[in-house]
A and B are shown apart, each in its own frame.
Chain A
Amino acid sequence: MKKTVPLIITFLAGLYMIVAYFVPHPAVANSAQQMQGWEIIIVAFTLVLGIGNLVQVHYGKVRGRRPGWFHSAALLACLAVMAAIGTVWGVAEGTVYYWLYDNVMAPLSAAMFSLLAFFIASAAYRAFRARNKEATLLLLAAVVIMIGRVPLGPWLWAKLPWVGGHWPHALDQLTQWVMDVPNTAGQRGIKIGAALGAVSMALRMLLGIERSYLTTGGGS
């Protein structure tokens, strides 16, 4: 009941999706469509579940007055206010919810991600070394892309004596070639390998060999 039924559900749901891919009969297509509609709803609930875990962790921090508890209190207050305002008064343009999204959530999100520009500059200075042949190749490819993909590169190239005059588009062409040939080959190798890995993992799940997702919820 606790493990066998979920394993059967996984197997049947997965198998049905594979069957629906190959069998275009309306009966199969309609029932698969029905299941897909269910999935959209269930996934929405699971996303809300993640929020529940967040509340649990931070509520514990506030209750125990652990270090930084007031930050956790601010987090819980923001969560409650945003969820309540949006749920009760709506989410469309012109609502308070939209205003908070536009003026609090969006700037914070953008600022948080933009911090990475500083850290990647620091990493380039401290860690990007031509230690061996492979690292040198990586470094050269990165420099070609960094210079070739911005207007400064081709502009500088065209100003170079002799080469700039004879082959004014050479840097553009080299950058495109790096992307189209060696990069495509490398990326494709990675893609095929990763896809085969994902397919084998999916099959292991369907056949009940891989069960780690069932450890959620504990018990046996």
Chain B
Amino acid sequence: MKGFFVGMMRIDRRWIFLAMALVVAGSLLSDIAFPRLEISPDVRRAYDLIDGLPSGSTVLFSWDYDPGSQPELYPLSAAMLRHALRRDLRIVMMGHWVTGVPLIEKQIAEVVRREFPDKRYGSDYVNLGYKSGQNVLVITMAKSIRDAFPADYYQTPLDSLPLMARCRTLRDARAVVSFSAGDPGLIMWIQFAWQRFHIPVTGGCTAVSAPEFSAYLQSGQLHGLMGGMRGAAEYETLVGVRGSASVGMTAQSLAHALIVVFILIGNVAYFAAGRGKEER
């Protein structure tokens, strides 16, 4: 029996890889769906912040991620974009990650132009694109967006864009929404936009970094948070859209269950093989 457990511990890891691939692919192909998601207080708070802004206010959306984190943050930025446009907010778009800037254009094409064809570039939304500088960029924008971005992503001077005539500094934005896969991202926006200029900051982050934001949520420095694909799925639920995050929740659930089963088997095998006793 002990030999069996020792064998279990030495199993070729490719079987584990195969099991994971099958569970994820199988659950995407299946019709299994779990009941509606409970909306967590942190997501509700972010939703309420955007929902409570007067129509016509300007918000800044910052795409601080790249394709490596797309499955977690792309559905969230799409859902928040929809929410903001439905609320008739004006959106200034930018990004701190040079490798993520084309995702802004992708989202404009897939969400704004397709679902909100009456929204006009220049008066309802503007894409500023990317600049280096990180925290320095935020401070520069707080004094003058033009100093940091003399032109938008398409090299149009900001003075010829009506929205930017009203939004001259970061302080003219009623909120900053960052979709953050690390640094530069949400933490930097909290440290500078909120802490220094008192502009409410909210947004989403990859699940990896979600736990560290709980300290900022409790202190009130962060106005709500969507952590990972689950957070995106909750926001999709709130705006009434069944997007890729909501669809992915079944696969997410079953893959987590598989990992828990792996942990259980691994521990049973470990103790049954007598390793625990040896180490103690």
Whether the complex brings A and B within 8 Å at their CB atoms is answered yes
B41 CB within 8 Å of chain A:
yes
B68 CB within 8 Å of chain A:
yes
B243 CB within 8 Å of chain A:
no
B35 to chain A minimum Cβ distance, whole angstroms, is: 6
When chains A and B are docked, how far (Å) is the Cα of A181 from the Cα of B106?
39
Count the A-B residue pairs with Cβ separation under 8 angstroms: how many? 161
Contact between A47 and B105, CB atoms less than 8 A apart:
no
A152 CB within 8 Å of chain B:
yes
Q: Which residues from A are CB-within-8-Å of B101?
A: 91
A101 CB within 8 Å of chain B:
yes
Indicate which residue in B41, B68, B109 contacts A112 across the interface (CB closer than 8 Å): B68
Q: Mark A126-159, 1 if CB is under 8 A from B, else 0.
A: 1111110000000100010011011111110000
When chains A and B are docked, how far (Å) is the Cα of A180 from the Cα of B42?
10
Contact between A118 and B136, CB atoms less than 8 A apart:
no
Q: Mark A71-100, 1 if CB is under 8 A from B, else 0.
A: 000000000000000000001110000100
Q: How many residues of A are in contact with the other chain, CB < 8 A?
A: 60
Contact between B133 and A121, CB atoms less than 8 A apart:
no
A59 to chain B minimum Cβ distance, whole angstroms, is: 23
When chains A and B are docked, how far (Å) is the Cα of A180 from the Cα of B276?
33
Which of chain A's residues has its CB closest to B66's CB? A109
Interface of A, secondary structure class, is: helix
Contact between A113 and B68, CB atoms less than 8 A apart:
yes
When chains A and B are docked, how far (Å) is the Cα of A209 from the Cα of B39?
50
When chains A and B are docked, how far (Å) is the Cα of A106 from the Cα of B21?
21
Contact between A106 and B9, CB atoms less than 8 A apart:
no
Contact between B70 and A110, CB atoms less than 8 A apart:
yes
Of listed B109, B144, B263, residue having the most chain A CB within 10 A: B263
CB-contacts of A19-72 with B (<8 A): 21, 29, 32-33, 36-37, 39-41, 43-44, 47
When chains A and B are docked, how far (Å) is the Cα of A2 from the Cα of B70?
44
A3 CB within 8 Å of chain B:
no
Stretch of A4-12, A183-191, A210-218 at the chain-chain interface = A183-191
Q: Which residues from B are CB-within-8-Å of A172?
A: 38
Which of chain B's residues has its CB closest to A97's CB? B102
Contact between B68 and A110, CB atoms less than 8 A apart:
yes
Which of chain B's residues has its CB closest to A195's CB? B191
Interface of B, secondary structure class, is: helix
Q: Which residues from B are CB-within-8-Å of A44?
A: 132
A122 CB within 8 Å of chain B:
yes
Contact between B106 and A124, CB atoms less than 8 A apart:
no
B123 CB within 8 Å of chain A:
no
Q: Which residues from B are CB-within-8-Å of A162?
A: none
A204 CB within 8 Å of chain B:
no
Indicate which residue in B68, B143, B266 contacts A109 across the interface (CB closer than 8 Å): B68
CB-contacts of B240-280 with A (<8 A): 249-250, 252-260, 262-263, 265-267, 270, 276, 279
B230 CB within 8 Å of chain A:
yes
B69 CB within 8 Å of chain A:
yes
Contact between A118 and B35, CB atoms less than 8 A apart:
no
B57 CB within 8 Å of chain A:
no
Contact between A152 and B267, CB atoms less than 8 A apart:
no
Given contacts A128-B263, A180-B218, A184-B215, contact A152 B148 (CB under 8 A): no
Contact between B147 and A187, CB atoms less than 8 A apart:
no
Indicate which residue in A91, A92, A112, A147 contacts B260 across the interface (CB closer than 8 Å): A147
Contact between A126 and B9, CB atoms less than 8 A apart:
yes
When chains A and B are docked, how far (Å) is the Cα of A110 from the Cα of B143?
36
When chains A and B are docked, how far (Å) is the Cα of A150 from the Cα of B250?
8
Contact between A93 and B254, CB atoms less than 8 A apart:
no
Contact between B260 and A146, CB atoms less than 8 A apart:
yes
Contact between B279 and A121, CB atoms less than 8 A apart:
no
B82 CB within 8 Å of chain A:
no
19 sample A-B contacts, Cβ–Cβ < 8 Å, listed by A number: A21-B196, A36-B147, A43-B132, A43-B136, A44-B132, A92-B153, A109-B66, A112-B68, A117-B24, A121-B17, A121-B19, A122-B13, A127-B266, A131-B279, A143-B263, A146-B260, A147-B257, A150-B253, A169-B38
Minimum-distance CB pairs A-B, first 5: A152-B253, A151-B34, A106-B67, A40-B133, A125-B262
Which A residues contact B (CB, under 8 angstroms)?
A: 21, 29, 32-33, 36-37, 39-41, 43-44, 47, 91-93, 98, 101-102, 105-107, 109-110, 112-113, 117-118, 120-122, 124-131, 139, 143, 146-147, 149-155, 169, 172, 176, 179-180, 183-184, 187-188, 190-191
What 8 new A-B contacts, CB under 8 Å, besides A150-B230, A151-B253?
A: A29-B143, A39-B133, A39-B136, A106-B70, A122-B17, A126-B9, A151-B249, A155-B34
